[in-house]
Structure 1
Amino acid sequence: MTKTFCIILTILLFTACSKETAEPDTAPAESMYFPPLTGTNWETKSIADLKWNQNAVQPLLDYLQLKNSKSFIILVNGRIVLENYFNKHTASTNWYWASAGKTLTSTVTGIAQQENLLNINDKVSKYLGTGWTNETLAKENLITCKHLLTMTSGLDDSTDDVDPASLIYKADAGTRWAYHNVYVKLQDVVKKASGQSWETYFNSKLRDKIGMDGTWVQIDVNSVYTSTSRSMARFGLLILNKGKWENNTILNEAYFNEATTTSQNINLGYGYLWWINGKTSYHLPQSQLTFQGSVIPTAPNDMFMALGKNDQKIYVIPSKKMVVIRMGDAADNENLALSDFDKTLWEKINALYQ
């Protein structure tokens, strides 16, 4: 009897252990959330639920207010963790994206390519005709749409003007990286290729499909996007999900991967109008110097960014399933895209979860 009981007990223990090994008690990964296309409903996630450091929240918000911020949003898995507005800015107030909006142009160019309206490897003059620059025909024909996406057109970057007389030869396309407003010619390419106005195509293929608001406005020679902060967050969420919104592919993954990785061998920190973190070197606007190390050394290495004048920011961090938005005036003095603000801001953000 005793021997039989021991055998039964051994079998039960073995079965229990086997079941525990086969089915570990782990919580399922949280699903990605997408807010409705209309209305103000948006799921949230608390600092406590994430087991983040509540004591680090107020120092972050104090720093943002001190540095002339108007809005700040953190999404994790699409859910709002922090959403704060400063200096009389509100959730319904529009603000300009500045050069952070270059990534909208990059995305819509990719959409037009996947619809077989254009090919980024084609020369720009295929769509705009010859004479769109002040270069010789031979040099102009070297410039492809991809050169505009990667800031390697070779055109003189000493002016922001994009009329033909101002687009002067500096180097052969593909041999020199320089931050240049000529990228805006991609909007003309999409216009010609689609037979629609830039804004009509943009609205139907991107904005309306992910529930953004906002409009394009002309400021000097620049076509600048303005929207609410949540619209900027929606775009960041789309990009976090490699161009998909729920089950809908807005931008194909192949183009997304090209756009958010190093696009040429001169500025390793640049994709298709996206800034790339975690590389061994990078260039900055209005400089031909090579800087060693990561663009923002205090931020995650897998992060990529939309950076605009006066510190308009979209940070996308795939490893943390996180999107961070900052809109406002310049944190310190006026700057083109990157500043010391980024470095300190990421020290404050890191304190939330380290």
Structure 2
Amino acid sequence: MLPTFLRRLSLGLALCLSGSPLLAQTWPGDEWASQPAAETPALKALESYAFAPRDESGERKGIRTDALLVIRDGVVVYERYAGPTTAQTPHLLWSISKSVFSTALGVAFGEGRFRLDDPVAKYYPAFAAHPSVKMGHLLNWASGLAWEEDYEYAPLKSSVVAMLYTRGREDMAAFTAAQPLAELPGAHFHYSSGDSMVLAAALRGMVDEQAYADYPWHALFEPLGIRSAVFERDAAGNFIAASYAYLSARDLARIGLLMQRDGRWGERQVLPAAWVQFVRTPFANYQPGVQERGAVPGAQWWLNASLPGAQKPWKDVPEDTFAALGHWGQALYVLPSEKLVVVRFADDRDGSYSHNELLKRVQAAFAGEQP
């Protein structure tokens, strides 16, 4: 058998002779290739929007960006942090955790561990009271369970606050499973962190305990070279897929590049391309304007899709753009047609931040250029 490096050399020559597009793509190894873009008026305009100056007391007001990282065609072209966040900081992702966990779940799908039309109770027996809820319903936030996804504005009636911090915190999936059905599963989109927690419990029913504890690392983080990942678990042992993953900006960008390139990482198809297509397909029964969270729901990801009777949510951004979004301005944006991946960590509090405005300025600074 040929040594590994000779096998890779042979493959590289074969790709060269075949004219394969693999040869032209840049992939990060232990570190990303970096070629910082030149400082231009467009770049200054982006920075002035993303990084508001501090006042005399050192306090940030308005848009409060902690990190902004731009990857163009697999190469870092821009990176800036606002202390105390640094390039090494595993930043709390909030609801980006949902998209990260669903990406790991996509690996399980590719391994044949479940189908979208499987009843959730097949993998999570505590869900037996809801036999009509399918795995696909949970992925589309369409379980039909009664749920209130309110934080600061209605904490006393909030299902998610109760799940994360009070009576549901010991076993978050069981807390969700105990909620009654409010409507037919799959009939309507209804954003729910509880749906994401039940997905975490369902994966646990597909694999043994040791495999579950290692699964996000074995399935996703290690193949992509991600080393900063932290994923909290509740007292019952389930990953808190709704909210509590942590990654550095550069490591989160690896997941964005994986999704931009249809689930492929170098020579390996980590995710089935069909899974990426599913993630990027608008939920069929979504009604524009109903509980819209600044984008169109896909499968635990958010889309800039135009739908009948409604324009795309981010008017200046390509329609194929999709994103993982989290509380207080966390974002992972993927712009396939522009070959861009953008990571933004933040501490926004006043609602002044605009996805469209940031991405419009990113495009002005970086789209169409070649490293």
Alignment match, 1:325:
343
SS at match of 2:206: helix
For the Cα contact (< 8 Å) 2:186–2:285, is it kept in 1?
no
Q: Secondary structure at the match of 2:198?
A: helix
Q: Percent identity?
A: 25
2-side partners of 1:75 and 1:343: how far apart?
A: 18
Residue 135 of structure 2 is aligned to residue 123 of structure 1: no
Which amino acid letter does the alignment assign opposite residue 274 of structure 1?
Answer: W
Counterpart CA distance in 2 for 1:273 and 1:309 is 14
The change in CA–CA distance for 1:94 and 1:46 in structure 2 (over 3 A counts) is closer
* Contact 1:71/1:229 (8 A) holds in 2: yes
Whether the 8 Å CA contact 1:73–1:84 is kept in 2: the answer is yes
Q: Tell me the residue number matched to 1:226.
A: 246
In 1, Cα distance between equivalents of 2:48 and 2:250? 21
1:270 aligns with 2:297: yes
Residue type of the alignment partner of 2:89: T
Aligned counterpart, 1:245: 265
Name which of 207, 213, 216 aligns with 1:202.
Answer: 216
Match of 2:8 in 1: none
Which residue number in structure 2 is paired with residue 132 of structure 1? 127
Cα distance in 1 between the residues matched to 2:73 and 2:107: 24
- Report how far residue 166 of structure 1 moved: 4.6
CA displacement at 1:147 relative to structure 2? 0.3
Counterpart in the other structure of 1:59 = 45
* Residue 295 of structure 1: how far off its partner (Å): 2.0
Distance of 1:100 and 1:33 partners within structure 2: 25
> Which residue type is aligned with residue 187 of structure 2?
T
Q: Does 1:217 align with 2:232?
A: yes
Instruction: Specify the SS of the correspondent of 1:47.
Output: coil
SS in structure 1 opposite 2:297? coil
Find the partner of 1:235 among 255, 264, 267.
Answer: 255
What is residue 182 of structure 2 aligned with on the other side? 170
Structure 2: distance between partners of 1:164 and 1:180: 10
Q: 1:331–1:239: structure 2 CA closer, same or farther, 3 Å change rule?
A: farther
Name structure 2 gaps, 5 residues minimum: 1-20, 53-62, 149-158, 164-172, 289-295
Partner of 1:17: none
Q: CA deviation at 1:141?
A: 1.0
Mind listing any 5+ residue stretches in structure 1 that lack a counterpart? Answer: 1-27, 282-290, 334-338
Residue 100 (structure 1) aligns with: 96
Pair 1:88–1:59, CA change in 2 (3 A): farther
Residue identity in the other structure for 1:179 = Y
How far is 1:242 from its partner?
A: 0.8
Does structure 2 conserve the Cα–Cα contact (< 8 Å) formed by 1:150 and 1:264? Answer: no
Q: 1:32 aligns with which of 25, 32, 37?
A: 25
Find the aligned partners of 2:257 and 2:213 in 1 and give their Cα distance: 21
**Structure 1 position 165, deviation (Å):** 6.6
CA distance in 1, matches of 2:337, 2:250: 22
> Partners of 1:147 and 1:308 in 2: how far apart?
21
- Deviation of the 1:196 alpha carbon: 3.4
Shift of 1:31: 2.1
Partner-residue secondary structure (3-state), 1:194: coil
Instruction: Give the superposition deviation at 1:265.
Output: 2.7
Q: Taking structure 1 as the reference length, what is the TM-score of the superposition?
A: 0.78
Q: Does 1:89 align with 2:103?
A: no
- Report how many residues are paired: 300
Counterpart in 2 of 1:191? 204
Q: TM (normalized to structure 2)?
A: 0.75
Which structure's CA Rg is the greater one? 1
TM superposition outliers: structure 1 runs of 4+ over 3 Å:
196-199, 218-223
Find the aligned partners of 2:113 and 2:234 in 1 and give their Cα distance.
Answer: 28
Does the 8 Å CA contact 1:184/1:223 hold for their aligned counterparts? Answer: no
How big is each residue's C-alpha offset from its partner over 1:112-139, in whole Å with a ceiling of 9 and x where there is no partner?
121122222100011111x437xxx4xx
The offset of 1:210, in angstroms, is: 0.3
Compute the RMSD of aligned alpha carbons: 2.4
* Structure 1 residue aligned with 2:357: 344
Q: Is 2:330 aligned against 1:307?
A: no
Distance 2:81 2:303 in 1: 27
